[in-house]
Amino acid sequence: MLQPQNVADPAALLRSVRRVSAIRDILIAAGLAAICYLLAMEFDFSDRIGEWTKAWGRGERYDVFFALLVLTICLAAFIYRRSRELERLQGALRALAIQWQAVFDSVGNPICLADTEGRVQLCNHAITQLTDKSVADCIGRHFSTIIHSTTDTPSDDLLAQLHQSRQRQNAVLNLVDRTLEVTADPMLDARGELVGVIYVLNDITERKRAEEKLRESDERLRQSEKMTAIGQLAGGVAHDFNNQLTGVLGYADLLCSRLDDPALKRYAESIRTGAQCSADLIGKLLAFARKGQYQSVPVDMNRVINEAVDVLERSIDKRIRIEQLLRAMPTVVTGDPSQIENAILNLALNARDAMPDGGTLTVETQVVHLDAELYAKPPYELRVGDYLMLTVTDTGCGMSDEVKRHLFEPFFTTKPVGKGTGMGLAAVYGTVKSHHGATTVSSEVGRGTSFRIYLPLAAPAEETVNESAGPEARRCAKLRVLVVDDMVLVRELAAEILRSEGHEVLVAADGRAGIELYRAQWQGIDLVVLDMAMPHLGGRDTFRAMKAINPRIRALLSSGHSLNEESQAILGEGTLGFVRKPFEMRTLLRGIEDAMSATVPDALRAGSPASVSPER
């Protein structure tokens, strides 16, 4: 017979129950309950009747019930403790979720969490700043339907690349009114499998605009530097060409004055005509190089525009209608009226060529105030102030961006060979620059072109002067003239022209030789014809050295450049005239007559000249 065992101590059972935890503890507690029940009973086997007979053992029924009661209390305490722990964890989880959502929504950049197919599962409130959708509207939608872009790399491609590489992907999305930078980061599980995508959006619209402004500024600076370099080259080339043309034009003049054979005289006149056309082209180069400002006088722009329009109405196709909208007040600028008129004519002729089938040419003026934010930078470099804005607009074929980039370069033209020199707009650019202004152009293929010229308004006290023709050449008595020029062709031509008029001529090949010759014979020299640009010692220093020898010196300047600031400065120091190369015979003689009839300034008679050593 199986002997019964003692019932286990309930206190021990309680201690055992207190040690349980979680589901495993519940299972252990259930096992202990079963053991308590078995220990409280004993079993008796009857061999004779072959059946089980159950009887209570030494333990009392009271002990078993007590053990079960203790076990039940322990289980209840365990369940209560676990439920309280669960509530605490749930509360902490809710608090953590609230904190995380607050941090998530406080991020300035829109963030979307999507599944592996791109459907948005979660997003922050910043997404509403980019779209017209609420956060609730975005949940469950495909990311590509939330952000509509015009980029060549849509968000679907980002997702495909992410599936393939499992690495961060970046793209720029161009929306209708803004530009977004998108970063797609993978969410991977423990096995490295893709389980979701984190999209982070960054609005780079302002950065792109700033970059575009910087790029445009750099482009304008490069264009300005390029035009400056071309201008320097053009000015140097023009100066050398003018020296050569001086000989061609001058000797053609001499031939015309001395030939009796009509055929030979006609040939010489053809040479002179060709040389004069070349001289006009060089004049445009000088205008582009900003070395062609002949005068600086008050100019009434309305008057100049009306004169230019009168010329145009008589010469251009009648199918082109000319409109004038002269709204500027005041209308006076400071500059050279002939150059400004030529600039207007060049713009108008360019517009005419853009409208072979007719159209409308509009000339408009108005006064604008320019600040330093944009126009103080290259290529404009304008000062703050009031400007007269002259606009010449056509309804022609327009031009591409590539053409606009080269528009003001010398000899650049889109016209057929023989139809244009490519110097018209280059001369406009240089003329406006020399007047401290700026030129802009806007154009679209098929929709016409608009040129804008900004010229600073003259001071209110200035009045428009009436330009008159220069004095005719007057014959004067026999003179002794010193010609100082480093070009053999030019000084021999000048000497030949003067000798043909009965004057005595001395020549010097450079400034130092001229100073030595003048020092030795200054009392017998009536006039000095002085070249501006010479090696070793330029015209300005040569003149100062001669003035130190004779404060009452009479000198006539000559230069392949036009009357620029340096030439005007020397005129202010006492030279009596200026002749621009290439000069014709009558031009040189008129300059000499004017210089001889001019009054020597009081400052020269007073002396105190600057001393310049000829050995410098």
CATH of the domain at 359: 3.30.565.10
Q: Which residue positions in the chain have pLDDT lower than 50?
A: 1-21, 42-59, 152-153, 293, 462-474, 602-616
**What whole-number distance in Å separates Cα of residue 402 and Cα of residue 431?**
23
Q: Are residues 422 and 506 in the same domain?
A: no
pTM for this model (two decimals): 0.44
Domain match, 433 and 329 both: yes
Task: Judge if 345 and 369 occupy the same domain.
Answer: yes
Boundaries of domain holding 307: 297-456
Q: Which of 49, 71, 101 is the last residue of a domain?
A: 101
Give the DSSP H or E segment for 65.
helix 61-106
State the CATH number of the domain containing residue 541. 3.40.50.2300
| CATH number, domain containing residue 166 | 3.30.450.20
**In total, how many domains does the chain have?**
5
- CA of 530: how far to CAs of 161, 286, 509, 558, in Å? 77, 20, 11, 6
Reference 17, options 71, 94, 64; nearest CA is 71
Domain identity same for 231 and 188: no
Same domain, 146 and 176: yes
Confidence at residue 95, expressed as pLDDT on a 0 to 100 scale: 81
Alpha carbons 326 and 316: distance in angstroms, whole number: 21
For residue 146, being part of any structural domain is answered with yes
Residues 225 and 260 in one domain: yes
**CA dist 322 → 319, 441, 447 (Å):** 10, 19, 17
- Residue 208 in domain: no
Torsion-angle region of residue 574: left (phi > 0), alpha (psi -120 to 50) or beta? left
346 in a structural domain: yes
Look at strands 359-370 and 320-326 and give their pairing: parallel
CB 110 within 8 A of CB 100: no
In a domain, 5, yes or no: no
DSSP code at position 190: T
- Tell me what pLDDT residue 452 has: 92
CA–CA distance, 450 with 325 (Å, rounded to integer): 14
Is there a domain that residue 292 lies in?
Answer: no
- On whether both 232 and 127 belong to a single domain, the answer is no
Predicted pLDDT at 16 = 41
The answer as to whether 612 is a domain residue is: no
d(CA 421, CA 595): 37
**Residue 527: its pLDDT value, please?**
92
Does any domain span residue 280?
yes
Same domain, 310 and 417: yes
H or E segment to which residue 505 belongs: strand 504-508
Query: Which pLDDT value is given to residue 47?
Result: 43
Is residue 475 situated within a structural domain? no
For position 311, what pLDDT does the model report?
80
340 in the same domain as 451: yes
Domain boundary among 101, 130, 157: 101
Distance CA 279, CA 583 (A): 9
Beta strand 111-114 with 438-444 is unpaired
Last residue of a domain, one of 78, 101, 124: 101
Secondary structure, 3-state, 96-138: HHHHHHHHHHHCCCCEEEECCCCEEEEECHHHHHCCCCCHHHH
Residues 157 and 257 in one domain: no
Dist. CA 541–CA 478, nearest whole Å: 28
Angle between helices 424-434 and 337-353 (to 10 degrees): 150
Same-domain status, 46 and 172: no
Based on the domain organization, do 409 and 550 belong to the same domain?
no
First to last CA, the chain: 143
